[in-house]
A and B are shown apart, each in its own frame.
Chain A
Amino acid sequence: MREINVSEITAVVKTMSINANYYLGSDIKNQIVRSYCREPWPIAKDILSKILNNIDISQNENRPICQDTGMTCVFIEVGQDVHIVGGNIEDAINEGVRQGYLEGYLRKSVVRDPLDRVNTRDNTPAVINYTIVPGDKLKITVAPKGFGSENMSQIKMLKPADGIDGVKKFVIKVVEEAGPNPCPPIVVGVGIGGTFDRAALIAKKALIRPLTQRNENKLYRNLEQELLEKINTLGIGPQGFGGRATALAVNIETYPTHIAGLPVAVNISCHVTRHEEVEL
């Protein structure tokens, strides 16, 4: 049994909330640079260079990369041998978000109720997902999610007969319908299988996988590559004004599913795809 005090959790969530919003992951930045180098369309190239400039300004002059500092998604892997002490873990996570968004001068973008829409003024509550794993570590991922791209996400319950072609068709359709709205170049998280909710969850988890990492299964690795190439022939381009660089990556995650089902969730993220992780 290993004890972890909730105060440690609050502290790392606070730091990660701030860092995620000021320092873009190197895998994302490198892919934007690659896209810039490969971009044949002048207006698209200019936009990508301004995006890269913005990343530098943000890092060097201490300004958040994007004003939509997101609703905070938190993924926690709790080792079975961990005993969390000193308070309630959910409260501790939310306190970390609260402190991070206050001290980091981040925007408070959460409303207490979807219909009455009164701002909670501290960016809580976070959307937290817990997994129990073997061992005595606690791994926390903080992923602020902007809603320009979130709003362009879709989920569909395909039928088994739709097969891989049905999956490809749906992913492309979602990207086409999103067009300029999610701030291309985008990262596309695809969840295939599970149940209605599991497909969506794994699509979001796909977004926090480093862009340098492909799916381990050959079928899905090839599908990731094929979809990325296809998307980058659509011509939407950076910010939707035309060009090659519509997507930086397509990440696919899968889960076993029912004999009658083929759920497919497409979670869109923008070029400011943010996540930080820490292991306690």
Chain B
Amino acid sequence: MYKRITTPLIEEKVKSLNVGDSVLISGIIYTARDAAHKRLVELLNKGRDLPIDVRNAIIYYVGPTPAKPGQPIGSAGPTTSYRMDPYAPSLLDIGLKGMIGKGSRSQKVIESIKKNRAVYFGAIGGAAALMGKCIKKAEIIAYKDLGSEAIRKLKVEELPALVVIDSKGNNLYEIGQNEYLKRN
């Protein structure tokens, strides 16, 4: 029922994922949302190095609540992905293979996912306590000044997600709703 994935998300693994697959993600993923993406793409446009290596990496669009003493991280559900749409193609072009978020992506991003053979995972918005529990280690590795929006390196174990847009461009938002309406 669940496909287990371990990072790095090399192309072979990406190709094995199909729209609608339930996955459990383990390994290292990175967090970044609006402010961090803006800085990353500004660096790219200036031809400078990024603070993280995005090749075969997964970025999770999340700004967590602060960790309580003894916890690696607070609650950490996905933020809405369309806000990162202006930035995603640039990162996909340099080797980013996976994005975890929630909500629709633009046609431009879908084309970039297909062209770069990447995948978009959906996590359940609002199930932030549940998601937080799957994160075993968290450290800020860039942009500490951004607080919750800093880039964090996360060690995750069996983080649940759905394949929402696969590398062929199949989109679960379209398929899911159409299937439901056909039968109900």
Contacts and interface: CB of A to CB of B under 8 A. Distances in A.
Given A47-B124, A63-B74, A107-B66, A181 B130 contact: no
A82 to B, nearest CB: 34
B65 A54 contact: no
A225 interface: no
B77 A66 contact: yes
B123 to A, nearest CB: 9
Interface stretch (B47-55, B91-99, B112-120, B169-177): B169-177
Contacts of B102: 148, 180-181, 183, 239
Most chain B beta-carbon contacts within 10 A, residue among A40, A54, A58, A117: A54
Interface residues of A, number: 46
A109 interface: yes
A9 interface: no
B180 A237 contact: yes
Nearest to B68: A105
Contacts of B63: 67-68, 107, 109
Contact of B75 (A64, A179, A237): A64
**Most chain B C-beta atoms within 10 Å of own C-beta, residue among A108, A181, A236, A237:** A181
B147 A108 contact: yes
A216 to B, nearest CB: 30
B132 A63 contact: yes
A113 B12 CA distance: 45
Contacts of A37: none
A107 B124 contact: no
A30 interface: no
A67 B75 contact: yes
B80 interface: yes
Interface stretch (A154-162, A198-206, A240-248): A240-248
A50 B127 contact: yes
Give the interface centre of A107, A109, A119, A243 by most chain B CB atoms within 10 Å: A107
B118 to A, nearest CB: 19
Contacts of B178: 235, 242
Contacts of A66: 75, 77, 125-126, 128
B184 A41 contact: yes
Contacts of B122: 239, 241
B126 A183 contact: yes
A43 B172 CA distance: 11
A237 B176 contact: yes
Contacts of B133: 57, 61, 63
Interface of A: 40-41, 43-44, 47, 50-51, 53-54, 57-58, 61-69, 105-109, 117, 119, 121, 148, 151, 179-181, 183, 235-237, 239-244, 270-272
